[in-house]
């Protein structure tokens, strides 16, 4: 009876995830700037050109190659084709969860499907044209493969585990941290039973993944010239706050569900590791639980330490593999603890009751409105007008969708907008007058009686106040961090408009669905000139 209930719930959740992934494919709309960055990188004229720009991206070569091959099919609608590719990755992710459930002896998957598969962060990251979904997929496959190697240390399982490990790190650099955690957990389990052959195979698996990254040493070294521009002060308090926010999708109720699951999981793991009779099919199942507990513990600790050291702002997709790792650990513990199998099915339903409304809203939001603004400006701007895109990185996606003939520039001016050229931004940051070309262009346009279209808007100071000019980097407290400069430049340019333009107003672009708040752009129109 219980087995039928489990498979029925798992099948229903699987169909639900398929439905949500289709909805995302339909509603996500155009590519947002990071996705445009990916496709521009992948479709450079030659592979040498791709390699020359790879240090401007945050992932190895595997994902750009996949996108390059997919784009060469000759799709009528390139954006929709990329959404379809994301949907195929979503299908593969669902299959991965079922495969891992079989390998780990927890078939069918329940909590992993609900907590990870149906999570809005997963659905959006997997369906997007970025490497994080594919990276999480290979990371979970590596999880199952390494456990398979632990339970059966033979040549075929070693080849499989090594292949999955290499694919994981070749998709995302940071997967190396989680792979280290998996290998460490495997070594502990094998060490307790003195399986030296198995330990050697695990070390060889991790070694193969590490060696596969050696060709990227020069690329990673070159990227260090601009990496400080993207750093923030990601202390442990910020990381934990973002972790809780992303895991709970900003919902207090879902956060409570996670807390209950984690507390129950820790209590159950502690009890069954101390009392073998509580574990179903001990001792093999007990070894699986120990591996899952260690993999989750090591993975969480090492990954948070990695993010703290790199000082990158923790975006939701950075936690994708972490969600999968924790969900899988909880699944293993609940599935192998006597008396908790019914609880696992019930908790899965409870998770869905809380999570489903959040995920439904999350997958129906547009990724960006830059295409709508580009189309509006293309039709409304007249010869002699000027378009200014703020901040500069929006120019990467604006360039993809703007088809007009009116001149445009970014704030500050960045000449190459194929990918995110932080190296060129760095040159602007050290300049004593980085906005001078923008001021000259705006002044000439307004004095000639034409309009300036501000894509992304500007920031305006209250009347009577004067913004503080930013010193050339790395002088001052900001150092090389670019975010304070982006904010400061927006205020300085806004003050220039306030003191020289006659009037400005915001244009409302009609929308029939919500837009991701981080990618929802404003459009301002400025006209008239007055001397100060």
260 close to 332: Cβ distance less than 8 angstroms: no
Stated pTM of the model = 0.91
Task: Assess whether pLDDT exceeds 90 at residue 6.
Answer: no
What is d(CA 438, CA 443) in angstroms, rounded to the nearest whole number? 8
N residues, the chain: 532
Sheet of strand 408-410: strand arrangement: 408-410, 386-389, 452-455, 523-529, 501-506
Token pair for 188: 């502990």
Task: Assess whether pLDDT exceeds 60 at residue 58.
Answer: yes
Token pair for 134: 């594919």
pLDDT in tens, 255-300: 999 999 999 888 888 887 776 655 555 567 788 889 999 999 999 9
pLDDT at residue number 144: 95
pLDDT in tens, 427-449: 999 999 999 999 999 999 999 99
Task: Assess whether pLDDT exceeds 90 at residue 76.
Answer: no
Q: What's the mean pLDDT when you consider all of the chain?
A: 91
pLDDT at residue number 531: 77
Average pLDDT over residues 42-70: 93
Q: What is the DSSP letter of 281?
A: T
Alpha helices by DSSP H, 233-340: 236-247, 252-274, 284-310, 320-335
pLDDT at residue number 283: 62
Beta bridge mates, 279:
337
Task: Assess whether pLDDT exceeds 60 at residue 405.
Answer: yes
Task: Assess whether pLDDT exceeds 80 at residue 468.
Answer: yes
What is d(CA 185, CA 195) in angstroms, rounded to the nearest whole number? 14
Tell me how crowded residue 248 is: count the other CB atoms within 10 A of its CB. Answer: 20
pLDDT at residue number 233: 80
Beta bridge mates, 366:
515
Tell me how crowded residue 180 is: count the other CB atoms within 10 A of its CB. Answer: 18
């Amino acid at each position: 009876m219980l087995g039928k209930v489990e498979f029925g719930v798992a099948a229903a959740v699987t169909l639900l995830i398929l439905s949500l992934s289709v909805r995302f494919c339909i509603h996500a709309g155009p590519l947002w700037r990071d996705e445009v960055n990916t496709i521009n990188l992948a479709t450079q004229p030659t592979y040498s050109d791709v390699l020359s720009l790879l240090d401007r991206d945050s992932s190895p070569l595997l994902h750009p190659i996949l996108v390059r091959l997919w784009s060469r099919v000759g799709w009528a609608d390139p954006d929709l084709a990329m959404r379809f590719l994301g949907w195929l990755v979503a299908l593969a992710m669902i299959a991965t969860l079922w495969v891992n459930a079989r390998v780990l002896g927890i078939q069918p998957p329940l909590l992993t499907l609900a907590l990870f598969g149906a999570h809005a962060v997963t659905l959006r990251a997997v369906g997007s044209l970025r490497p994080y979904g594919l990276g999480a997929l290979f990371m979970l496959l590596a999880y199952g493969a390494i456990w398979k190697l632990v339970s059966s240390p033979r040549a075929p399982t070693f080849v499989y585990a090594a292949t999955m490990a290499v694919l994981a790190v070749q998709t995302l650099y940071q997967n190396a941290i989680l792979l280290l955690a998996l290998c460490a957990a495997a070594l502990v389990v094998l060490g307790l039973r003195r399986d030296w052959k198995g330990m050697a195979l695990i070390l060889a698996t991790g070694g193969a993944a590490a060696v596969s990254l050696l060709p990227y040493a020069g690329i990673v070294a070159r990227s260090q010239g601009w990496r400080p521009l993207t750093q923030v002060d990601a202390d442990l308090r910020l990381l934990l706050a973002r972790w809780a926010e992303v895991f709970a999708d900003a919902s207090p109720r879902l956060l409570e569900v996670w807390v209950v699951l984690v507390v129950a999981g820790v209590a159950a793991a502690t009890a069954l590791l101390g009392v073998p009779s509580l574990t179903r099919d001990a001792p093999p199942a007990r070894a699986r639980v120990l591996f899952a507990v260690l993999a989750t513990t090591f993975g969480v600790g090492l990954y948070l330490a990695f993010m703290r050291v790199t000082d990158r702002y923790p975006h939701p997709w950075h936690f994708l593999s972490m969600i999968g790792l924790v969900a899988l650990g909880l699944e293993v513990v609940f599935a192998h603890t006597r008396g908790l199998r019914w609880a696992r099915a019930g908790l899965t339903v409870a998770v869905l009751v809380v999570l489903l409304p959040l995920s439904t809203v999350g997958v129906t939001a547009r990724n960006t409105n830059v295409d709508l603004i580009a189309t509006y400006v293309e039709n409304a701007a007249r010869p002699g007008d000027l378009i200014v895109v703020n901040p500069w990185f929006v120019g990467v996606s604006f360039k993809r969708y703007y088809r007009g003939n009116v001149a445009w520039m970014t704030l500050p001016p960045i000449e190459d907008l194929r990918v995110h050229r932080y190296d060129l931004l760095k040159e602007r940051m050290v300049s004593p007058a980085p906005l001078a070309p923008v001021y000259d262009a705006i002044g000439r346009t307004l004095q000639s009686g034409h309009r300036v279209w501000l894509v992304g808007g500007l920031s305006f100071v209250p009347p009577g106040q004067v913004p503080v000019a930013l010193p050339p980097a790395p002088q001052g407290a900001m150092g090389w961090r670019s975010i304070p400069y982006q904010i400061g430049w927006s205020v300085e340019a806004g003050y220039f408009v306030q003191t020289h333009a006659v009037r400005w107003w915001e244009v409302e672009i009609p929308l029939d669905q919500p837009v991701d708040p981080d990618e929802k752009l404003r459009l301002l129109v400025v006209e008239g000139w007055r001397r100060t």
